[in-house]
């Protein structure tokens, strides 16, 4: 079974790993080193003064190409197909004994690798926490990623967005019960990606990850709550989401703006376990490549297939890094009729309701090049016929311009009118050899 160690070895063999020799401070210095590694397109492994004897690794997905490498695909279309197929056809995991893989750890939360990343953050955060919980009424499990703010030796506050885990917590709270949870850290990056995807309720994300890994993911049941966790993590925590809410935030999120202070569930942890194999502890720096790719790649697949149903061909889809991999979609298409580009805009909004802006261009525009996208807008857009505004729609909670989650969506049609391509031909200098 591939694990985080095999992923690190792959990156090191490719010359994409920095081994930092210094002990870095958990307050800003570690985050600054991760940021620098990200700017170089590399992962980094280091130690910090917050947690003696534990290696910390970040930026395990330093590029889209590395993500494709992990998944064994070559093209974006193969990538989207593989993700969608895994969500539609998850594979059950084999199970092993928890005691064969983990032992109790007498550390507290405060002695694990939680970092203070940005100056305005509320404190030390875990940013790679995979929560696993079970529906109280059905044999349904959910895995999802949520940040944890340390509140005490064995307590934390987690940002729980209104998706599947929140649904499970609300179901327990409606019975005046605490929610049993397991929180695991540092599996293979493909397992982490599986937890970041959003299949329909009832599909267990670890089984999605197992499909992506061709059936090689193994799970084991935690001693207290009998929850299934991957066998190849660095640490596993067992605890309870209590009935109490406490302040969580501010925290710099994917947009590199500060998420506001909210009342979020208080979690009490009862046990901490560590792997019998010495594995590095994974952390994610918000707003950088690893975070943006994990946030957006599943939604890119949704947009790709949604738009493909209404136009002749979709060349590329990108959720832009500047928008946190979440708010702005660039799409290059081939049109049959002029109305196709407007349909593409509407199909993208339908596929990803958090989208704020959709920009559609022709297939001759490389949407990985911002200058080409700007050129298309500058030369091919006429605002009176190419701008679509949807007023008072639901927006993402990440968008600071939204008011109570409501605002306007913008569609930009920067495509050439059918039959007029000769007027928009880009000048080029021919080869002379």
Confidence (pLDDT) at 275? 98
pLDDT band at 267 (very low <50, low <70, confident <90, very high): very high
Range in 142-146, 233-237, 405-409, 421-425 the model is least confident about: 421-425
Confidence (pLDDT) at 422? 84
Which are the catalytic amino acids? Answer: 253
pLDDT band at 86 (very low <50, low <70, confident <90, very high): very high
The pLDDT tens digits of the residues spanning 204-234 come to 999 999 999 999 999 999 999 999 999 999 9
pLDDT band at 419 (very low <50, low <70, confident <90, very high): confident
**Superfamily for the 290-420 domain:** UbiD C-terminal domain-like (3.40.1670.10)
Compute the average pLDDT of residues 196-207.
Answer: 98
Confidence (pLDDT) at 183? 99
% residues pLDDT > 90 (the chain): 94
The pLDDT tens digits of the residues spanning 182-191 come to 999 999 999 9
**In the chain, domain spans:** 79-277, 290-420
pLDDT band at 398 (very low <50, low <70, confident <90, very high): confident
Confidence (pLDDT) at 134? 99
Compute the average pLDDT of residues 22-49.
Answer: 98
The pLDDT tens digits of the residues spanning 102-123 come to 999 999 999 999 999 999 999 9
Mean pLDDT, rounded, of the chain: 97
Confidence (pLDDT) at 397? 86
Q: Is the pLDDT of residue 140 over 80?
A: yes
Q: Is the pLDDT of residue 238 over 80?
A: yes
pLDDT band at 300 (very low <50, low <70, confident <90, very high): very high
The pLDDT tens digits of the residues spanning 378-390 come to 999 999 999 999 9
Q: Which residue has the higher pLDDT, 80 or 405?
A: 80
Q: Is the pLDDT of residue 307 over 80?
A: yes
CATH of domain 79-277: 2.30.110.10
SS3 readout for the chain: CCCHHHHHHHHHHCCCEEEEEEEECCECHHHHHHHHHHHCCCEEEEEECCCCCCCEEECCCCCHHHHHHHHCCCCHHHHHHHHHHHHHCCCCCEEECHHHCEEECCCCHHHCCCEECCCCCCCCEECCCEEEEECCCCCCEEEEECCEEEEECCEEEECCCCCHHHHHHHHHHCCCCCEEEEEEECCCHHHHHHHHCCCCCCCCHHHHHHHHCCCCCEEEECCCCCCEEECCCCEEEEEEEEEEEEEECCEECCCCCEECCEEEEEEEEEEEEEECCCCCEEECCCCCHHHHHHHHHHHHHHHHHHHHCCCCEEEEEEECHHHCCCCEEEEEEECCCCCHHHHHHHHHHHHCCCCCEEEEEECCCCCCCHHHHHHHHHHHCCHHHHEEEEEEEECCCCCCCCECCEEEEEEEEECCCCCCHHHHCCCCCCCCC
């Amino acid at each position: 079974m591939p694990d985080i160690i095999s992923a690190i070895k792959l990156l090191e063999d490719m010359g994409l790993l920095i081994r930092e020799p210094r002990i870095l401070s958990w307050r800003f210095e570690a985050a600054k080193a991760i940021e620098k590694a990200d700017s170089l397109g590399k992962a980094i492994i280091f130690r910090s003064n917050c947690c003696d004897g534990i290696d910390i690794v970040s930026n395990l997905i330093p590029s889209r190409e590395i993500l494709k490498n992990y998944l064994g695909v070559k093209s974006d279309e193969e990538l989207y197909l593989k993700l969608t197929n895994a969500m539609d056809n998850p594979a059950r995991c084999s199970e092993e004994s928890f005691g064969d893989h983990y032992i109790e750890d007498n550390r507290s939360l405060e002695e694990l690798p939680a970092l203070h990343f940005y100056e305005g953050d509320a404190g030390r955060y875990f940013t790679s926490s995979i929560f696993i919980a079970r529906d109280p009424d059905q044999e349904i499990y959910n895995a999802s990623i949520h940040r944890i703010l340390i509140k005490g030796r064995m307590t934390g506050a987690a940002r729980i967005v209104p998706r599947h885990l929140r649904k499970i917590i609300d179901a327990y709270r409606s019975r005046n019960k605490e929610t049993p949870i397991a929180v695991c850290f540092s599996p293979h990056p493909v397992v982490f990606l599986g937890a970041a995807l959003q299949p329909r309720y009832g599909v267990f994300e670890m089984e999605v990850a197992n499909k992506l890994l061709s059936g090689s993911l193994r799970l084991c049941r935690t001693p207290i709550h009998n929850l299934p966790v991957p066998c190849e993590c660095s640490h596993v925590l067992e605890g309870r989401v209590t009935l109490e809410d406490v302040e969580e935030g501010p925290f710099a999120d994917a947009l590199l703006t500060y998420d506001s202070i909210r009342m979020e569930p208080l979690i009490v942890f009862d046990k901490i376990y560590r792997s019998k194999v010495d594995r590095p502890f994974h952390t994610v720096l918000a707003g950088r490549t690893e975070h943006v790719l994990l946030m957006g790649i599943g939604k890119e697949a949704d947009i790709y297939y949604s738009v493909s149903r209404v136009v002749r061909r979709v060349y590329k889809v990108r959720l832009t890094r500047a928008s946190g991999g979440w708010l702005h979609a660039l799409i290059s298409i081939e049109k049959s009729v002029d109305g196709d580009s407007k349909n593409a805009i509407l199909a993208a909004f339908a596929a990803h309701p958090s989208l704020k802006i959709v920009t559609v261009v022709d297939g001759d525009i490389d949407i990985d090049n911002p200058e080409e996208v700007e050129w298309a807008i500058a030369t091919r857009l006429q605002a009176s016929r190419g701008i679509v505004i949807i007023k008072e729609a639901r927006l993402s909670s990440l968008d600071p311009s939204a008011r109570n989650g409501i605002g306007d969506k913008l569609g930009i049609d920067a495509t050439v009118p059918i039959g007029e391509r000769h007027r928009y031909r880009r000048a080029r200098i021919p080869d002379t050899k």
